[in-house]
A = this chain, B = another copy of it.
């Protein structure tokens, strides 16, 4: 690919890219910015291996220093036909929303698919975020879902934009590892995952059944969509009422709760572990 050069942060192309820091512009162009060598490498790797989800990197911007440090990125970009542009530190500063940017930014097409696609191929574990507002928390849930081997993550209700810079950073490449769906209609999402064969478990402190008991009952080994609510105000009744069961993480000490990302990690790993334990009993 021919290498362009972008040095002026006030130039039209940079101003246009800078627009992608706003949700409205991202939604319009269906593109987002991915910062940092690790996340960019995951995007390029997904494009090279063509595993789901379908990832298309439009541009790779690197400062001279970053290009030297991460010469492997330029090679992979070249291999998959992604243009690499030299950029100045000032351009990176204009595009980045981190305090100490690494000098590596990719422009990537939205990766989200429909909820129907998420549940199409016999999913076993899906994370559904309802009205989650904090981008760091939301991104961390994507990371936890990715680690727990989930078959997808669905952002629903009035949740934060999963393409928000902070969410993308916290997900550490998760956007390029597992299917992601964005669909505001929570009831439709619940219907869709249920018709995909998943029970719906809502994680909430008001649950009458605790996670350990759910495990002992064999509930966690079943194909499951976990529903996680807002970090500050929890889950309103009209959301919990959509679930088959409301499960509470047992609090053994004096803390009131865990934060959302920690709750999601505990629930998703409890399910992943129970599902695999069942595999071992069946086939092991």
Contact = CB atoms under 8 A, between A and B. Distances in A.
Interface of A: 140, 143-150, 170, 172-174, 177-178, 211-212, 215-216, 249-259, 261-266, 269-270, 272-273, 276-277
Contact of A259 (B140, B149, B211): B140
Nearest to A265: B262
Nearest to A272: B252
Query: A148, A173, A269, A277: which has the most chain B beta carbons within 10 Å?
Result: A269
Nearest to A46: B254
A147 B273 contact: no
Main SS of chain A's interface residues? helix
| 10 interchain residue pairs of minimum CB distance | A149-B252, A262-B265, A146-B255, A177-B254, A147-B255, A149-B253, A146-B253, A212-B273, A266-B269, A147-B251
22 contacts: A143-B258, A145-B253, A146-B253, A146-B255, A149-B251, A170-B259, A172-B255, A173-B255, A173-B256, A174-B255, A177-B253, A177-B254, A177-B255, A178-B253, A211-B273, A249-B269, A250-B272, A252-B272, A263-B265, A265-B266, A266-B266, A266-B269
A177 B256 CA distance: 11
Contacts of A273: 211-212, 215, 250
A150 B258 contact: no
Contacts of A177: 253-255
Contacts of A149: 251-253
Contacts of A261: 259, 261-262
A253 B261 CA distance: 17
A86 to B, nearest CB: 28
A254 B178 contact: yes
Nearest to A146: B255
A184 to B, nearest CB: 26
